[in-house]
Amino acid sequence: MEIVRIPVLSDNYVWLLHDAGSGETAVVDPAVADPVLAAAEQRGWRITQIWNTHWHPDHTGGNQAIKAATNCFITGPAAEAARIPTLDRQVREGDRVSLGGVQAEVIEVPAHTAGHIAYLIPQEKAAFVGDTLFAMGCGRLFEGSAEQMYANLQRLAALPPETRVYCAHEYTLSNARFAVTVEPDNQALARRLADVEAARAAGEATVPTTIALERATNPFIRASSAEAFAERRLGKDNFKG
């Protein structure tokens, strides 16, 4: 499977997943349509599916136009179907979504939104996590609790360390600057901050990340309890760096 990152809006990433054997292409969380359609056309790929992780407009805003242009099939969280009117299939924990010969497992990871889901592809060692887990960060708690988000992060952290994590925003530099205030003695984190600063200065993306990197440097995953996580989440909400 080939995976392509498409930067859109100010800091969103849309992901294109292409299965060469079947010729199928899926779009994960299309904020807008035109750059996604252009990226697929440039590669000669036919968009057949959209996978949504949650209802926020910067993850679903391109659904209708992409469907009109391609007649693709749209999958998303059953718990948020009322807020994603373009869905063709509603999925829940334990469901599977196929792209040619590739299968994704659906897991429910509520907290950023009440019905947020992620798509795990074990055979590709890939996870599409929307706004739940970021590089050295996590999503804000708009519709759920700290206990929920902490449990979600621990579940994701238990994935194989080589698993690549495809999140939906370029928040890494801000996240890293906050993280070093939480763990100032974490040498792996200090090195990663330097790497991220250099990458962003060169205009380079910093995602996908990996589970191994997040275990070593993500202060939200590394929190000792849900209570400690909640303190860190509040700190990040108010962080100005």
**d(Cα 116, Cα 20) in Å, to the nearest integer?**
29
Catalytic residue from among 59, 185, 195, 237 = 59
**10 Å Cβ neighbour count for 126?**
20
Q: Considering 11, 54, 116, 185, which one is annotated as catalytic?
A: 54
Q: Considering the candidates 56, 95, 185, 195, report the single residue annotated as catalytic.
A: 56
DSSP H or E stretch at residue 62: none
Task: Name the active-site residue from 18, 29, 116, 131.
Answer: 131
Strand pairing class (102-108; 96-99): antiparallel
- How far CA 209 is from CA of 32, 103, 129, 183, in Å, comes to 23, 21, 11, 19
Which tokens belong to 53? 């992780």
Residue of 34, 169, 185, 237 marked active site:
169
* Residue 240 CA to its chain's centroid (Å): 23
Say whether 116 is catalytic: no
Active-site residue, 195 included: no
- Catalytic residue selected from 18, 19, 29, 58: 58
| Annotated catalytic residue, options 18, 29, 112, 116 | 112
- Annotated catalytic residue 18: no
Q: Which residues are catalytic?
A: 54, 56, 58-59, 112, 131, 169
